[in-house]
Homo-oligomer: A and B are copies of this chain.
Amino acid sequence: MLSERRLEVLRAIVQDYVGTEEPVGSKALTERHQLGVSPATVRNDMAVLEDEGFIAQPHTSAGRIPTDKGYRLFVDKLAGVKPLSSPERRAIQNFLDGAVDLDDVVGRTVRLLAQLTRQVAVVQYPSLTRSTVRHVELLSLAPARLMLVLITDTGRVEQRMIDCPAPFGETSLADLRARLNSRVVGRRFADVPRLVQELPESFDSEDRGTVSTVLSTLLETLVEETEERLMIGGTSNLTRFGHDFPVMIRPVLEALEEQVVLLKLLGEATDSGMTVRIGHENAHEGLNSTSVVAVGYGSGDEAVAKLGVVGPTRMDYPGTMGAVRAVARYVGQILAES
């Protein structure tokens, strides 16, 4: 077990390194922090911390920098979540309040998060399957052409074109629409498959094919894989990555372009509470020198989606976590209101 002072030394190293982006030496540490001991003592502590794998030397005769394991300890034991200042809180609220629709909410959230944390922001759209149905609309565009529109309580709207096997009359359409809505409105999308299961049977044989087509399109829309969308922003913050940013930036940009990777990234975050993944804890190679701070958000208690930021492992964890948490809360509020 590490003594109190050694932990203090680690904390000081992390803080200084995050601030200066340069390996920090024993002398500088004692000057900038009140550790009450001499550089020599700190050096001994550093040697221990290095043995334990919490810090490392880029090369002999350089200062130390925290390892992923060091950051992990810092986040778990040494750092709190820094609450935002009240002007910041007000700014968030003002900024998010102006949104006109869900795309706008998500877009503003991404920009806000990127600006607050000065890192890359990722916001997932509210998951369909975790939302509840506000309305299902069916429109007839042509005799054998329908449009299906799903609207969730979180404001998300999905539409699909449907080519019917046979022409479908206005009355049948109104009938189907009414029955569909009466069954699913207010229910969770996850339950929809069960709720509409035997709907085709109650229709005339001539309409049954179309009804089945409509329902299967509806169910396809709810397939996890396709339903998840997200938005990212603040990529220009990658240029602040550090001196080695030219090397780092490419794999990160590439990873950020793959929705699948990002969705998995957010998916790995626990459903409630904040998740911090540091460096190599991230499964994706390209993100091995980044940290991800993610948290779920939702209009009620339950998370309907996640949001977070991607930044260098060398980041201000308390501040970032504070911003992420605060933004998630406000977004949840906005969604609940709409």
Contacts and interface: CB of A to CB of B under 8 A. Distances in A.
Nearest to A110: B257
A239 B249 contact: yes
A160 B100 contact: yes
A141 B151 CA distance: 11
A326 interface: no
A191 interface: no
Contact of A141 (B134, B157, B254): B134
A137 B149 CA distance: 10
A246 interface: yes
A95 interface: no
A308 interface: no
A329 interface: no
Given A101-B158, A157-B149, A233 B257 contact: yes
Given A139-B151, A236-B257, A249-B249, A157 B157 contact: yes
A250 interface: yes
A151 B155 contact: no
Contact of A147 (B151, B239, B250): B151
Interface in A23-66: none
A113 interface: no
A236 to B, nearest CB: 4
Interface residues of A: mostly helix, strand, loop or mixed?
mixed
Contact of A159 (B151, B160, B226, B238): B151
B160 A101 contact: yes
Interface in A106-161: 134-135, 137, 139, 141, 147, 149, 151, 155, 157-161
Contact of A135 (B147, B161, B234): B147
A235 interface: yes
B229 A253 contact: no
A182 interface: no
A336 to B, nearest CB: 13
Interface string A219-253: 00000001001000111101100000110011001
A338 interface: yes
6 contacts: A100-B226, A135-B139, A135-B141, A139-B151, A155-B159, A236-B253
